[in-house]
Amino acid sequence: MAINIPRGTQDILPGVVEEWQYVEQKMREITKRYNYSEIRTPIFEQTELFQRGVGETTDIVQKEMYTFEDRGGRSMTLRPEGTAPTVRSYVENKMYGDPNQPTKLFYIGQMFRYERPQAGRWRQFVQFGVEALGSNDPAIDAEVIALAMDIYRELGLKHLKLVINSLGDLESRKEHRNALIDHFKPRIGEFCSDCQSRLEKNPMRILDCKKDRDHELMKSAPSILDYLNEQSQAFFEKVKMYLTDIGVEFEIDSRLVRGLDYYNHTAFEIMSNAEGFGAITTLMGGGRYNGLTEEIGGPATPGIGFALSIERLLLALKAEGITLPIEKGLDCYLVALGDAAKDKAATLLYELRKAGFTADKDYQDRKLKAQFKAADRLNVKYVAVLGEDELAKNVINVKDMATSTQEEVQLSNFIEYLLERS
């Protein structure tokens, strides 16, 4: 019986993986510019981390987590998102004691959610995210948003829309919470079971419901922006001012609440407006999460971050017809004819690679014509032919595949010859 790949996962094969590598390298370049350092956390954590950090009323915790019991009887979960593990590491490793604050981190890693697979949504997927911990300055909110926009722009995307909102502080959210309960309670029976259970626990999450998003009460629901206290309003105005000053265009959407319980103050999403991108237009999302470190046992520490799906980023590039400038091909391909030449080619190949060239040779004992065809398929710059006659004269024939010119080169000068032309 054939063993197939699990549903909702994918093999990223040669020819495609180079696109991933290019995108990831671009992310590393940009985060370095912004002074963010990479962090790598375990692929699984204690289940309680996500229950407390992400929130028990979220779809992730209630429906989507891959949770298992290990041999010690402990409940473990494959990480569904990257913020809670990053903050856990921040607390456990006492990064808050570092004199260089805020602590600015990024991650690239696999996440797992049990969802119905569709375009741009996988059960195993890769997220890139940044977290800035230790600053209440609204300027860092603008910095994090600008970093996200830079990634998309520098990869060539143009059909982008940035949407922002303020969720306010605890006082503002409490007032808004009460208004939402009063608004939905008389007709909550018309909503899905998830919304009904969230009414008292976290009514703001009702606004994020996909099933009931077209219900008339959704359109008339109280706006959080009408309940921001003076401090929250001033904070939001500063974020908008900084974004405007650096030329980052945005729209305000008072219905944007994000799907995780730990968000407060600034919330944002970047969407693709590209034709043919698909029904799920959101490319990434993030926001401020003051209070999360306390929730998982650390000192009071403000934080802000975002996460984006690399799979959706690649789909957006495809939708806009963007081809990444990926270098393909090899510098040199060795064609060896005869046993003695094959033995010498094995040594030459090692020397080529040691000198920094990308190089390969035939390992299937093919004829001359077949070896040249293999070199063509590999998009090789130079083909070097070594046969018994060349070996006897201590030379090698080097063909420039772009110009079809060929030159006989002394074997002792072969590496230097290629270095001069590289």
Omega before 102 within 30 of 0, i.e. cis: yes
7 in a labelled binding site: no
**Contact status, residue 77 vs residue 114, Cβ threshold 8 Å:** no
Among 246, 239, 241, smallest CA distance to 268 is for: 239
Cα(155)–Cα(142) distance, integer angstroms: 20
What letter represents residue 45's amino acid?
Answer: E
Cβ-proximal residues to 313 (8 Å cutoff; 6+ apart), any chain:
23, 152, 155, 283
Q: Which residues pair with 46 in a beta bridge?
A: 76
Identify whether the C-beta of residue 112 lies closer than 8 Å to the C-beta of residue 7. no
Q: Is 152 annotated as a binding residue?
A: no
Tokens at residue 183, please?
A: 């608004």
Query: What are the beta bridge partners of residue 408?
Result: 397
Give the list of residues 6+ apart from residue 312 with CB closer than 8 angstroms, or none.
120, 272, 280, 282, 283, 284
Q: Is 242 annotated as a binding residue?
A: no
131 known member of a binding site: yes
> Is residue 258 marked as binding?
yes
Q: In sequence order, what E strands does 139-231 have?
A: 160-166
User: Is position 58 annotated in a ligand binding site?
Assistant: no
64 is known to lie in a ligand binding site:
no
The response to whether 81 counts as a known ligand-binding position is yes
Check the annotation: does 83 bind a ligand. yes
Residues flagged as binding site: 81-83, 113, 127, 131, 258, 262-263
Residues flagged as binding site for L-histidine: 81-83, 113, 127, 131, 258, 262-263
